[in-house]
Structure 1
Amino acid sequence: MSPHDELVAVARSIFDRGLTHARTGNVSIRHGGDILVTPTGVSLGAVTADSLSLIDARGRHLDGPKPTKEAFLHAALLRARPDAGAVVHTHSTHAAAVSCLDGLDSADALPPLTAYFAMRVGRLPLLPYFAPGDTGLEPAAETAARDHAALLLRNHGPNVAGKDPATTLDALEELEETAKLFLLLRGSRTRPLTPQQRDALTSP
């Protein structure tokens, strides 16, 4: 499968699973030294292989239609994580809801309720609020992404980088399901994994 077709398949899967809605969310994949990214103003359910945008590693538009206004964020995560091959950003309902809560630990926004969250996501930093498309977020995101493959944007949603689109989507979906559990369990006593249990799952 070509990178174009792979990106389209993941974009449509995200839309079909209800992990984003309307014309929200964006996806990118490395393409040589550059980055293919979904365009602005197009539903992920309607993206086609010939409608993708090409940006460079600094987020500058090179070819194709105008890229998502958050192209700079995809470039920042891929610069920070040279082993990553894809980035997914959604406004998935439960993760977005968690991003709006007060009193979260900005270094670790969701507890490790399950082993799979610990393995696929790890610790989830919560970044401060920036308006969509505000490039002021870029340095904070790039710094946080050096140590964390997944980030939660305050009052916005998750960004996840992974070695390929399928792995990235797995992590994104695990984050969303854990956010759902977290909200379902609010007000109940929970017993997340201990630090030792989490470390045992994330150690190389």
Structure 2
Amino acid sequence: MTETRQRELICTLAKSMFDRGLTGGSTGNISARTEDGGLLVSPTGTSFGRLDPARLSRFDSTGAFLDGDPPTKEMPLHSAFYDTRSSAGAVVHLHSCHAVALSLMPDVDADNFLPPLTPYAIMKLGKVQLLPFFRPGDPAMGQAVRGLAGKRSAVMLANHGPVVAGKDVEAACNAIEELEDTARLAMMMQGLRARQLTPAQVSDLVRHFDVDWDT
């Protein structure tokens, strides 16, 4: 994919998520690898609904800033995924409402944040790690991701929002939308006796779709 096309795709997908209320105002950030090993990153303080392809932050393969507007303050978070997961071609971070709401619940499993309600979150995300609250922009968020040693493609920042790495920007966006959809289902089922997938069904999905599912 040419860099011009990739810039346009980043902005198109970001606007789609903004238009559907998955992140609002100037929240969220997105990045993607370029063919030369560099990065395109959404600038700090920008809205997903109004990203300009020509003004995306551009880094070279060594991590040196080249041009564009100043990048998101969450760069340590993005860098942590790229440095620990060789398969990461894009990273997306949203402030999606239902995922944040689920992170506030007292009984969620930090090691496996999303309950097994449908097969799709398992297939697209594997296990999602719930991380504790960090001040936005705190480099400690990146350190926490590095501490997972590349074992998770997705994390949930408590009281903040989800972060997902994918093989490319479309895959990352699709996966983070699946995370939000599953969190929405989980909140809808609060206090009800939801019939979840069984451990045997989860194991079958993991085997059949070769899901990266650490034990």
- TM-score w.r.t. the length of structure 1 is 0.93
- CA RMSD in angstroms comes to 1.7
Give the structure 1 partner of residue 46 of structure 2. Answer: 42
Structure 2 unmatched runs, 5+ = 211-215
Counterparts of 1:195 and 1:57, CA distance in 2: 42
Kindly indicate whether the alpha-carbon contact (under 8 Å) linking 1:86 and 1:168 is maintained by their aligned counterparts in 2: yes
**CA deviation after TM superposition for structure 1 residue 143, in Å:** 3.0
Equivalent position of 1:171 in the other structure: 175
* Mapping for residues 9-88 of structure 1, pairs under 5 Å: 9-31=12-34, 32-55=36-59, 61-88=65-92
Runs of 4+ in 1 over 3 A off after TM superposition: 55-62
What is the CA-CA distance between 1:58 and the residue it aligns to?
A: 7.6
Give the AA of the match of 1:12.
K
Give the equivalent residue in structure 2 for 1:158. Answer: 162
TM-superposition CA deviations, 1:92-114 (whole Å, max 9, x none) = 11001112222321101121100
**CA–CA separation in structure 2 for the residues paired with 1:85 and 1:184:** 33
1:139-174 CA deviation, whole Å, 9 max, x = no partner? Answer: 211233611111100110100111111111111111
Cα distance change on mapping 1:71 and 1:59 into 2, 3 Å: farther
Q: After the TM superposition, which of the residue ranges 119-128 and 98-107 deviates more from structure 2?
A: 98-107
Q: Secondary structure at the match of 2:139?
A: coil
Unaligned runs of 5+ in 1: none
The one-letter code of the counterpart of 2:199 is P
Counterpart for residue 185 of structure 1: 189
Q: How far did 1:48 drift?
A: 0.9
- What percentage of aligned pairs have identical amino acids? 46
* TM-fit CA distance, 1:60: 5.5
Kindly provide the CA deviation profile for residues 43-89 of structure 1, in whole angstroms up to 9, marking residues without a partner as x: 11100111101235686644221111101211111222111211110
| Per-residue Cα deviation, 1:111-155 (whole angstroms, up to 9, x for no partner) | 110011211122111011110000011121123361111110011
CA contact (8 A) 1:26 1:90 kept: yes
1:128 to 132, 135, 150: 132
1:22 and 1:58 map into 2 onto residues whose CA distance is 31
Cα distance between partner residues in 1 of 2:20 and 2:166 = 19
Secondary structure of residue in 1 paired with 2:186: helix
Q: Give the SS at the match of 1:110.
A: coil
